[in-house]
Amino acid sequence: MGGRSYMLELKNISKSYKSNQVLKDVNLTVNDGEMIALLGPSGSGKTTILRLIAGFLDGNDGEILLDGKNINTIPAHLRNIGVVFQDYALFPHMTVEQNVEFGLKMHKVPQEERKARVKEALSVVGLQEYGARFPKQLSGGQQQRVAIARVVAIRAKVMLLDEPLSNLDAKLRRQVRVELKELQRKLNITTVIVTHDQEEAMTMGDRIAILNDGHIQQLGKPMELYRQPANKFVAGFLGTPSINFFDLHRCGPATGIQNVAVSAPAQLGHLSSLPDGHYDLGVRPEDMVYLKQPDDAFCLPADVTLVEHLGAETLIYFSSNAKAFCCRTELSLSVEQGQKAWFHLNFARASIFDSESGKCVYSPDSDPQI
- Chain residues in the site for other proteins (CB under 8 A): 54-56, 76-83, 85, 87, 89-93, 102-103, 106-107, 150, 154
3-state secondary structure of 166: coil
Query: Is the distance from CB of 285 to CB of 238 less than 8 angstroms?
Result: no
Distance set, CA 254 to CA 90, 133, 169, 247, 364 (Å): 64, 72, 51, 14, 22
Distance set, CA 286 to CA 226, 257, 262, 325 (Å): 13, 18, 21, 12
Distance of CA 31 to the CA centre of its chain: 17
Query: Is the distance from CB of 71 to CB of 9 less than 8 angstroms?
Result: no
Distance set, CA 303 to CA 327, 337, 338 (Å): 12, 8, 6
**Among 67, 97, 93, 99, residue whose Cα is nearest residue 80:** 67
Strand ordering across the sheet containing 260-261 = 260-261, 254-257, 244-251, 277-283, 351-354, 360-362
Distance of CA 158 to the CA centre of its chain: 19
Indicate if the alpha-carbon torsion angle 351, 259, 268, 327 is positive or negative. Answer: negative
Which parts of the chain fold into alpha helices (H)?
A: 46-54, 96-106, 111-124, 140-153, 170-187, 198-204, 222-227, 232-237
